[in-house]
Structure 1
């Protein structure tokens, strides 16, 4: 049997096992681990950890992708990447309007921001393509278009991320989405800071509404300046045992900053901020990023600067200060509830380490001693069984043909 057919039969079998396990009550995290344990025998020495925007943003969900969005990927390499080699990181962009074009590290519109710069060559970094800095093209994408970007990366040991593995697409906001966002921006003012010794010499502050006193401090030399996003665009975290505090702080544009920015989150209704975890919204879901003790959680990797949390309890209102590499949204959660949720195994996906709940698309319920399957579940199971049966038949035919050819 051809190797490709063997693999297909194997994967059909694994997926079938997952579908069988879900209805009988096994959490999908365990079922997913069943596949993951067999498809990744060892951690890849070169991998993509995160992306901005998330894959298929605005296509399979209602996420709004700004027309001036950057595209960025968080890359982790065990062996390091030679940033002096312009072709070690390459982007191919198809924006739905202009002919496809390529950019690499020698392009003025491509930046690298090292998250872990304790060693050389780079081992953890954000690779960023900024359409707004591409002088040969309009500074923004056309509204309501699908953008496709293909990433290729090579490390020092000749490991590679191919264009097929580094393929992303997202849909730019529509005219109505953009207008709605503009009309719901919070009232804010820019200012110069008194102390710029740490490089944060400019700021922006919300001056009215429920997020009054929220503040961003940044370096004035940033090529793309930070701002606050529209109110009400990000839904508050509302899941299981988590007790969200305050309103989500929406941040824009979606980009990575050359110098981490300082974010001050106010809590006018929470006199004690020492027991609050910080969650980060990646454009699709909320991820636990930083616990009450300031420890970085897996969901905050590449977003929050380690050791940057400061609790300003005496401020009015109390504020939590953190430094972050890039923008999306942030919200606090009472630590006790998020901790209990993190320890819950039911419907918990453990791959990212964050408290992310998923539901198996084969829903199951025990009612009056019967297992109830949805029509979609049955069709899915039957389809997979049919595919598996077909592959086995093909394998049998192939084996018989081989036997005849050999004269057996």
Structure 2
């Protein structure tokens, strides 16, 4: 079976994702599709709208054959680390192709840009350092350096979020000597971060989440922008969990964490740098909501996303030394299986003996620092719920087997 990999968050799975999936299958001629999907917390440093188990069901019912989890250690990172961990998992599963959405829509542009960047790496690094010392955030300094060294070249627009991720996917493939072949599909209609609905059927995940939160959780407002299966699971999750997840649900925990820690304890957390521990405590004392806290904390030097990821690491008590140790190779240490179709199950049987990474169906089968972060992320995510539901959600991390989906009968078997 010819295999295709996609790297996703599905927060939630919407019509744009459906279009990308269909076009990716056409472009690659794939028989089976593997999704590497972020778990309970996402790359922008925020809790997923619904749990990874519900998003797995959304993926399977909409055409994905295998869903595996991108570990927290990669899922809550900048683009380079996020991409490296994802590519290492697809390579470990003997995936043949990977297809990503981009604003550019031409894979040759990614490959040419990567070659130019490799040639001018020393000049680029020096410029990034210079701009950073002038007080610019790392993403802004990187963008300015890139513009400077490529001003006479035909290259990618690396101000666009999907182009940035795509560039790092292609770079990770080359860095890891992976046999993966990369494809890209041009994104249509809604932009990645568009906050409002612009078309009749295609909308960004950002605008869908905004509509859900700004209108009292009325999911009817998003029905035309998501497939029927997604709509069903959103409605079911809302009833079961009492609502969707957002940062404000965890603000009281973050406040406790920051104000009841010493500055040295805060400084040990991943991404707390350059004396931010003092600013964190002072700002938190003056804030009454997460939105207010972030607005006051934000500076020219630190992007909202960077600070939000830092807050996620504070919430999950993720230490610098642990994160730096386990991500130094930029490769995952295992493959965590979340769900599969019948076709996906056949593919797994075919490759199981040849996988280069341990394939986990339950977390209890491996003791691992990287896996411990995933467990802490789930424990933190479950704090939204009252007891005894909170404990039951935590226990799912150990007790729940991979979800099985019979695509022929359109039923879930567990």
TM-score (norm 2): 0.28
Structure exhibiting the larger radius of gyration computed from Cα positions: 1
